[in-house]
Amino acid sequence: MEPSEDFLLVAPGIGKYRNIQEAVNAASPGSRIVVCPGLYTRSVEIKKPGLTLEAKETNGEVQLSTSKGPLISVSLASKETCTIKGFKLIHKAPGRLVSDKHWLEELSYDQDMDCGVWIENGSVTLEDCQISLGTIKNPMPGVLISNGEVFLNYCEIKGNQNVASIGILCKDANLNMHSCKVHKHKDSGVVLKNQTESSICIAQCIIADNMNYGVLCDTPESVPVLQHNKIMQNQRAGIIVTKGNQAKVKENEIKYNEVGVQAVDSSPVLIKNKIRCNFGNGVEVTTDVGGAFVKISGNQIYENENGITVKGDMCKALIENNSFIGNNRKSGIMVDDSAQAEIRGNEILENVWQGILLVTDTSAVIEKNRIYGNLRANIAGGRGPLSISENRIYKGRCEGVFLFEPNDCKIYSNEIYENNDGILVVDGTTEVLGNSIHDNKRTGATFAGGKEPKKDKEGNFYERVEASVLLEDNEVYRNTEVGINIRDWVKGQIKGNRAFENPIQICILSQAQFDISSIKKSNEWTGEVQLPLPNYCEIV
């Protein structure tokens, strides 16, 4: 038997070892194997601990190319180490009868499967390696990690966009990935299917031009960390988080994807990202069969379709302190399908549709935001509990706040100004308390609707929701037409308000019953008013 060595040089034609595997077989644990530039066509299997395999020259190419199985496979005990540096791995798998659509379900995770690098266990470092799947003809992963701990530094993993591949498939392992580029895969860039206790960190990487997802986080309660990456030009989502995963997505640039970040039945935290110029929504939160609680904080979200969408009756989102949710082609924030949102301390501006749009029995708390310059209503809402408080709502091209058939809605302690109409409410029940409503181009606050039947889109009549308002302790001034405008069948209480410097301070054209005498005594106005004649209204 040939004696093992601590330093081995692979130099075909002139050295002792004709290929890398011969050197691995001869090495003792802990040996360093240095490989001269050249093309090597035999795959490498590593089962000895502590080996370091590295290219002899920084700029010289060590190419390892085969057409079957893994180019390099590593199988060690849990704490044993291996380091691989400076290799270029090119797989040339021939075509097989494998469906692109279902190939992931067919993976056997065994040592004979086609892939660039297969890691079963141990602590493995890949550094300055290139893995190319550009000539493959059947689906495969570039790096398959089925257990253990893997460090990827300064590596490039490239597909060809014609045959399904995944850059990195990590299953039940720890992964620390830094300064890598994963791109041009027909499936996804990185797929994480890890155990709950697995440690995952992907930092300062470029994950781009993949035809499915950039990064897929797919394990319940696992907490992968994605930080300081550029995730762009992926044809579905830049990042998708599913099945209760709790990914932390921090300080990434996420752009030019179909959707920036998609959360499905999961609870990720999105902090200080720049999510921009995606063709669909910037952030899309939905539920299918499970619940979700998503935190979206400190981000810049702009030039997407909708900035943020939250949808589903078991879906909750905390949207807070985002410095810029603006210039989106539809709404800044859309909450739909019975979802719940807390929207606090954000800057929401100049979206082509609404700043905040609440649809179909949603509920929301909207507090301490600056919402301005949106081309439709700054805030538009429908049915469902709604609290709007301590916001600055201004310079809307349409309404500052528009509500249709609100139920249990409170608007209080806001400053609402320089919109077309400050507040417009049609049907429903609303409390408007302690607001400053001024300098709007038409009315400060208008309330309409009520008893009279209406037609739906099919032309059928339906009974309208009763319209009722409590208007108390507001200051309404310098609006261009009317300060407070009550119309149709609206009823309710108007007390403690101050109205001044409007052409008409208060106008009541309501067919409901108001106590006009009480309104006169309990409100303060200076200037013209338009109230019904005493014999037109009865005191209830």
pLDDT of residue 452: 66
Lowest mean pLDDT among 159-173, 221-235, 317-331: 159-173
Read off the pLDDT of residues 326-338 as tens digits, 9 standing for 90 and up: 999 999 999 999 9
- CA dist 143 and 215 (Å) reads 14
| H/E segment holding residue 520 | helix 516-522
Read off the pLDDT of residues 18-64 as tens digits, 9 standing for 90 and up: 899 999 999 999 999 999 999 999 999 999 999 999 999 877 789 99
For strand 165-171 and strand 140-145, is the pairing parallel, antiparallel, or unpaired? parallel
- CA dist 225 and 246 (Å) reads 9
Structure token digits, residue 469? 């308002």
The answer to whether the CB of 296 falls within 8 A of the CB of 313 is no
For strand 32-35 and strand 51-55, is the pairing parallel, antiparallel, or unpaired? parallel
More confident residue, 5 or 144: 144
In the numeric block, the tokens 């990720």 are attached to: 268
Q: What value, to the nearest 5°, has the Cα angle with vertex 182 and ends 297 and 97?
A: 120
Structure token digits, residue 301? 């979200």
pLDDT of residue 360: 77
pLDDT of residue 57: 86
pLDDT of residue 3: 43
DSSP collapsed to 3 states, 391-459: CEEECCCCEEEEEECCCCEEEECCEEECCCEEEEEECEEEEEECCEEECCCCEEEEEECCCCCEECCCC
Q: CA dist 148 to 46, 77, 194, Å?
A: 14, 8, 11
- Environment class of residue 201 by beta-carbon count within 10 Å: exposed (0-12), middle (13-18) or buried (19+)? middle
The answer to whether the CB of 345 falls within 8 A of the CB of 365 is no
Using the predicted structure, report yes or no on whether residue 162 has a pLDDT greater than 70: yes
Q: Quick one: what percent of the chain has pLDDT higher than 70?
A: 93
Read off the pLDDT of residues 57-88 as tens digits, 9 standing for 90 and up: 877 789 999 888 899 999 999 889 999 999 99
Q: Can you tell me the mean pLDDT for 359-365?
A: 90
Q: For the chain, what is the radius of gyration of the CA atoms?
A: 32
| H/E segment holding residue 499 | strand 498-500
Using the predicted structure, report yes or no on whether residue 300 has a pLDDT greater than 60: yes
Q: CA dist 451 to 119, 448, 479, 491, 510, Å?
A: 71, 10, 28, 10, 11
Lowest mean pLDDT among 140-144, 289-293, 358-362: 289-293
pLDDT of residue 539: 33
Give the residue from 91, 24, 80 showing the smallest Cα distance to 53: 24
**Phi-psi category of residue 390: left, alpha or beta, with phi > 0 → left and psi -120 to 50 → alpha:** left
Structure token digits, residue 435? 């607001």
Lowest mean pLDDT among 14-18, 390-394, 404-408, 426-430: 14-18
pLDDT of residue 536: 38
pTM attached to this predicted model: 0.92
| H/E segment holding residue 516 | helix 516-522
**Phi-psi category of residue 310: left, alpha or beta, with phi > 0 → left and psi -120 to 50 → alpha:** beta
